[in-house]
Amino acid sequence: MYQQNQHIDGLIILHLREELDEAGKGELEEWVSSSEENKELFERLTDPAFLASNLKATDYINSAAMLKEIRSRSNKVFFIGTGNWKKYVAAAAILMFIAGAYFWNHTNKNDVAVTKDIPGQKADVAPGHDGAVLKLSDGNTIVLDSAANGTLAKQGGTQVVKQGNGQLVYNSQTGEAQNETLYNELSTARGRKFQVTLPDGSNVWLNASSSIRYPVQFAANERRVEITGEAYFEVTHNTEKPFIVHVSVPGGKVGWGADVRVLGTHFNVMAYPDEDAINTTLLQGAVKVISNNATALLTPGQQAQIAAGNTRQGQQEIKVVKNADVDKAIAWKNGYFSFKNDNIEMLMKQIERWYDVDVVYKNKIPQTFSGTIPSNVNVSDIFKILETTGSVHFKIEGKKIIITK
């Protein structure tokens, strides 16, 4: 449902920008007419008076005012977990995107700036974007942010191609044998994420500050990759070749590794050095999580947590959460920040990675946060929203964020 809602959001944005093709128009009309709830939601999201009333006729979207107006009309729209509107969380959260589309289409389409500095502040930080560094088997590197589309390299019998949608694809050439196992490594810095299609057709989305190492042709009996940081996998099913993700957390709190074994499935792995656990969240299929001598078999909707130092009689323990918040786990991949009773430190870790900033706390902030916010806006827009939720204040100084009560 989450991904379906996100797709509908995209159609609505294209509709507002007057860029929707005939196939998209038909799909959107079918969705709108399929239920009264859909019709009501579409009318709300495309009401010119509603959108215009929440946009200043200057050069930026007033996100704080917009949020206040949304709340005043329905407290079920923005925050998670309220009745029948829960299934429309993605669409409701996209309101900021949609307002931006409306503003862009109804003012000036030539380089419209949608944000400006918060009054009294001299700096702002743009969101991250697609980008990564590819390390080839011979040690040479390619910066994918600036690399042209097309074939980047040939690795044994495999072509490495950058496609126009910012995706890296490995195409094995039929009949070309590979005498040795060649490895590539894709890594993202803070403020970058990237997608790669592996030689077997499996898709991997890499979050900021992450890496994946993989052979350019998989072995005959298994498909093994290694990751750090966070990645979302959609693995091509192959009963003859199990897919194994080795997770490591070099130099971090966790201090443990894990193997995730699958045949064909969709799942997310989060293993950052500054987090307290390795989390594996399953969306589809089945996976087995292994750490030292401990194992856990997950079914869809479950999450395996391997906490730092969580051992009993010298054996690592794996905690299984049976009703995990799957949408929250993959929000980063779908273009959102998702919070659910998270403290400020948990929230700011995501901000630091995506905006490539460092956070300084001047006071202890006891408040927790719940909600969903788009991740393609300037960092000041994030802070405007958070400041409306309680007694927390943010100051931007270059790449440093100062937080006070």
Q: Which token pair is 247?
A: 């997770």
Reply yes or no on whether the pLDDT at 227 is more than 70: yes
Q: How far apart are CA 366 and CA 39, in angstroms?
A: 40
pLDDT score, position 77 = 31
Residue 121 lies in a domain: no
**Domain holding 171: CATH number?**
2.60.120.1440
27 or 59, which is more confident: 27
324 and 376 part of one domain: no
369 or 170, which is more confident: 170
- Local structure of 276: helix, strand or coil: coil
Q: How many CB atoms lie within 10 A of CB 113?
A: 11
Q: Which token pair is 310?
A: 């969580």
245 or 43, which is more confident: 245
Q: How many CB atoms lie within 10 A of CB 295?
A: 14
Total residues found in the chain within this entry: 405
288 and 381 part of one domain: no
Each residue of 256-286: pLDDT tens digit? 678 999 988 999 999 998 888 899 999 999 9
pLDDT score, position 250 = 72
233 and 378 part of one domain: no
Mean pLDDT of all residues in 376-399: 85
Reply yes or no on whether the pLDDT at 82 is more than 80: no
b/e burial code for range 206-239 (CB count within 10 A of at least 16 → b): bbbbbbbbbbbbbeeeebbbbbbbbbbbbbbebe
Mean pLDDT of all residues in 242-250: 89
Instruction: Give the chain's domain count.
Output: 3
147 and 238 part of one domain: yes
b/e burial code for range 21-58 (CB count within 10 A of at least 16 → b): eeeeeeebeebbeeeeebeebbebbbeeebbeebbeee
77 or 37, which is more confident: 37
Please say which residue of 301, 328, 355 terminates a domain: 328
> Which H, E and C letters describe 292-331, residue by residue?
CCEEEEECCCCEEEEECCCEECCEECCEEECCCCHHHHCC
52 and 157 part of one domain: no
Residue 95 lies in a domain: yes
**Domain holding 397: CATH number?**
3.55.50.30
Domain interval for residue 278: 129-328
- Strands 223-234, 210-215: pairing is antiparallel
Please say which residue of 306, 328, 350 terminates a domain: 328
268 and 203 part of one domain: yes
- What are the φ and ψ backbone dihedral angles of 358, each rounded to 5 degrees? -115, 135
Residue 124 lies in a domain: no
279 and 353 part of one domain: no
265 and 382 part of one domain: no
184 and 214 part of one domain: yes
171 and 309 part of one domain: yes
pLDDT score, position 116 = 39
Mean pLDDT of all residues in 394-401: 92
237 or 309, which is more confident: 237
Mean pLDDT of all residues in 201-209: 96
Reply yes or no on whether the pLDDT at 35 is more than 50: yes
Mean pLDDT of all residues in 155-181: 81
pLDDT score, position 220 = 85
Residue 286 lies in a domain: yes
> Which H, E and C letters describe 119-175, residue by residue?
CCCCCCCCCCEECCEEECCCCCEEECCCCCCEEEEEECCEEEEECCCCEEEEEECCC
Q: What is the maximum span of the chain, computed from C-alpha positions, in angstroms?
A: 66
Please say which residue of 280, 311, 328 terminates a domain: 328
pLDDT score, position 107 = 37
- The alpha-helical segments, DSSP class H, found in 163-206 are none
Residue 113 lies in a domain: no
Reply yes or no on whether the pLDDT at 339 is more than 50: yes
237 and 266 part of one domain: yes
N-term to C-term CA, the chain: 37
Each residue of 89-119: pLDDT tens digit? 333 334 444 444 343 343 333 332 333 344 4
Lowest mean pLDDT among 26-30, 162-166, 168-172, 207-211: 162-166
If you average pLDDT over every residue of the chain, what do you get?
77
List residues bridging with 400 in a β-sheet: 358, 397
pLDDT band at residue 294, thresholds of 50, 70 and 90?
confident
- Residue 75 burial class via C-beta count within 10 angstroms: exposed 0-12, middle 13-18, buried 19 and up: exposed
141 and 95 part of one domain: no
Reply yes or no on whether the pLDDT at 175 is more than 90: no
Lowest mean pLDDT among 28-42, 50-64, 387-401: 50-64
Reply yes or no on whether the pLDDT at 243 is more than 50: yes
Mean pLDDT of all residues in 48-60: 41
231 or 20, which is more confident: 231
